[in-house]
Structure 1
Amino acid sequence: MPVIVLEARDFTSPLFLMRTWEVLSGCTTFSLVASLGPSELNTNQSEHQHLNTFKIFCMFIWCFFFTLTLFIHILSVIQFHSLIPISWKNLTMTVAVLGALMSVSASVVFPWIVMNRQEVSPRAVAAAVASSLTFMAYTSESCVLRTQAQEQRGYMGSMPGLLKTLQLWGGCQMIPLVVELVNGPRNGVHNWQLWVSGVSYGVCVLMSLVTLAVIIGDFAGRCLLPFDRFLAGFSLIGVLLYMVATVICFTKILQLRDITQSSTSIPNKSAELVIVETVVASITLLAYTVDLAFSIKLLCDRSHT
């Protein structure tokens, strides 16, 4: 099959311009951050390990989505994607929406890192601005793809598909938070709480990745169970696991509050991390709950037909 290159008018299409914007702003962001020294990110050596975890998290987001978007951009230009045995419409929608969610996380986390300093480097400010522009680019692409017909945007452009992307985003946010809570001071938080929460988040991230692999790879027809029951089962497991994790999060907040009232030496960082974990866990639990309701409705509709 011959390779077909886009026509001249295609180089001014909204999708082409937005993906070019994503590639350029993403490359600018991680290049600026990579050029920053440790002294430009933390105020003292004791905070270096704490901030380094979140710097690695942000760098992974920018580099991963830059690479993935560049791959999609090149395949779109040479029209080679039709030869790849995947669902292209589901892949592009997933990358656009997940890229927007992960970019906004990096755009919030990275300024929080650099604001630990009294004097902020100009390159750090430029990197934060470039990260925000990357978020805007992915958001714009998501909106453009959402305006297309259902046949063009695929399952991941529907409400259940967007909820599954939100679930994966929530699980990814938990990775650096759990790492910091494990490596940092416990402050009354029990080991079993960290282990149960970490296992719950890990299982849910694995289920989300399996679901995306099945949808993007067009493997739904090869599943041993009907795909709608497969999704409903994953949603139910996610609701149960995140209910447990959310209860543990609120328990940790109460523990930290009691310890703070009896001692003034509790670091604010631990309390901030637990609060962020609780908020993200609650949002993800809501996403799983709504997704489970969609799955049950779909099963009931099919049982009556």
Structure 2
Amino acid sequence: MPVIVLEARDFTSPLFLVRTLEVLLSCTAFSLVASLEHEESNTFWIFCMFTWCFFFTLTLLIHILSIIQFHSLIPISWKNLTMTVAVLGALMSLSTSVLFPCNVMDHKNFLPHSVAAAVASCLTTLAYTSESFVLRTQAQEQRGYMGSLPGLLKIVQLWGGCQIITLLVENSYKLHDDSHEWKLWVSGVTCGVCLFMSVVTLMVILGDFAGRCLLPFDRLLAGFSLIGVLLYMLATVICLTKILHLRGHGQNEDTKHTGLVILETVVSSITLLAYTVDLAFSIKQLCDRSHM
């Protein structure tokens, strides 16, 4: 089978340029950080390196397959895959752009490579955001389900689960009071269940398996959204109790731990909002179909 490549004018298209920037900038970020000395049990360092490496590899594969036009041979919904990678890459790169500088300031490791890596991470976020905008400007049939508002909300839910798991792992190292260990476990199980549901939903959409589900897919999504709302309400309440406990017992001297708890609360609230709006869309869709 002959290899078909893009035409010359396609190499100057906005989509080609932003994907090239994504590959170069993410490669630059993890290469610079890999040359630095780091703590062995540094959760944020591991998270940032994994994010940069993962999206570098995934974006490079998408870029190559787009150039040689082999994506039609892959049994995956290509339009949903590209939109998911672009939006999730923007959100995850935004997280690394926040967590990596915080990690550098915490360890007082202000080196030129660290500053350059932080700048490269911020530029990577802009590149993925630009690709998301380019894909969103396409017609609905070209951007697929993940380009719609319910699809974008599911990407936010997946991002929120990844962030909270990372923050919980880091908080476990800063936990000095054993009485709060149960809160850590409850939050971890809650976010783990929701993250699993998000991954299952994403796999069904990317694989076009919606018609093969035992239950109607729209009802399954509504059920997942309802479970997510309930579980993240619990997680948000637990986060708020942590903040009240820190204030009530005068533990504000541990500013890093307090900051992590506040960040966890913010991410939980954003994810809860995403699940709530998604549930509203699912209920509206079910009601509309019942009246047809």
Which residue of structure 2 aligns with residue 91 of structure 1? 81
Mark the CA change 1:94 to 1:142 in structure 2 (over 3 Å): closer, same or farther: same
Equivalent in the alignment of 1:296: 283
The corresponding residue for 2:235 is: 245
TM-fit CA distance, 1:3: 2.6
Cα shift at 1:181? 1.9
- Give CA-to-partner distance per residue, 1:107-145, whole Å, 9 cap, x none: 111111112355610111111111111001000000000
Inter-partner Cα distance in structure 2 for 1:205 and 1:143:
25
The two structures, once aligned, show a CA RMSD in angstroms of 1.4
CA spacing shift, 1:255–1:221, aligned 2, 3 Å: same
Cα distance in 2 for partners of 1:200, 1:242 equals 7
TM-score, structure 1 normalization = 0.93
Of 249, 254, 257, 1:259 maps to 249
Q: SS where residue 224 of structure 2 aligns?
A: helix
Which amino acid in the other structure matches residue 228 of structure 2? G
Counterparts of 2:45 and 2:162, CA distance in 1: 15
**Could you say which residue in structure 2 is the equivalent of 1:30?**
30
1:283 matched residue in structure 2: 270
- Does 2:143 match 1:153? yes
Alpha-carbon deviations, 1:82-129, whole Å to 9, x = none?
A: 001110000000000000000010011111111235561011111111
Q: Which of structure 1's runs of 4+ aligned residues deviate more than 4 A? A: none
> 3-state SS of the aligned residue for 2:106?
coil
What 5-or-longer segments of structure 2 have no aligned partner?
Answer: none
TM superposition score normalised by structure 2: 0.97
For residue 180 of structure 1, report the CA deviation from its aligned partner.
Answer: 1.7
Kindly report which structure 2 residues correspond to 1:8-27, keeping only aligned pairs within 5 A, or say none.
8-27=8-27
2:164 counterpart (170, 174, 186): 174
Counterpart Cα distance in 1 of 2:162 and 2:106: 24
Q: CA offset at residue 184 of structure 1?
A: 2.2
Letter in 2 for 1:248: I
| Distance (whole Å) between structure 2 residues aligned to residue 126 and residue 179 of structure 1 | 27
Q: Equivalents in 2 of 1:11, 1:174: separation in Å?
A: 38
Tell me the equivalent position of 1:233: 223
* Distance in 2 separating the partners of 1:21 and 1:90: 21
In the alignment, is residue 78 of structure 1 matched against residue 68 of structure 2? Answer: yes
Is this contact kept in 2: 1:188–1:256, CA < 8 A? no
Q: Which amino acid aligns with 1:6?
A: L
Q: Which residue of 1 aligns with 2:185?
A: 195
2:214 corresponds to which residue? 224
Any conservation in 2 of the 1:188–1:259 contact (CA below 8 Å)? no
CA distance in structure 1 between the aligned counterparts of 2:52 and 2:106, rounded to whole angstroms = 21
What is the aligned partner in structure 2 of residue 54 from structure 1? Answer: 44
Q: Is the 8 A contact 1:221 1:227 kept in 2?
A: yes
For residue 59 of structure 2, what is the amino acid of its counterpart? T
CA shift at 1:186, angstroms? 3.1
Contact 1:189 1:255 in 2 (8 A): no
What does the per-residue CA deviation read over 1:7-49, in whole Å, with 9 as the maximum and x for residues that have no partner?
11111111111100100001000000000113xxxxxxxxx46
C-alpha distance 7-288 of structure 1, shift in aligned 2 (>3 A)? same
**Separation in 2, partners of 1:84, 1:94:** 16
Q: Secondary structure at the match of 1:190?
A: helix
Q: Distance in 2 between matches of 1:72 and 1:49?
A: 32
Find the aligned partners of 1:215 and 1:165 in 2 and give their Cα distance: 12
CA displacement at 1:150 relative to structure 2 = 0.2
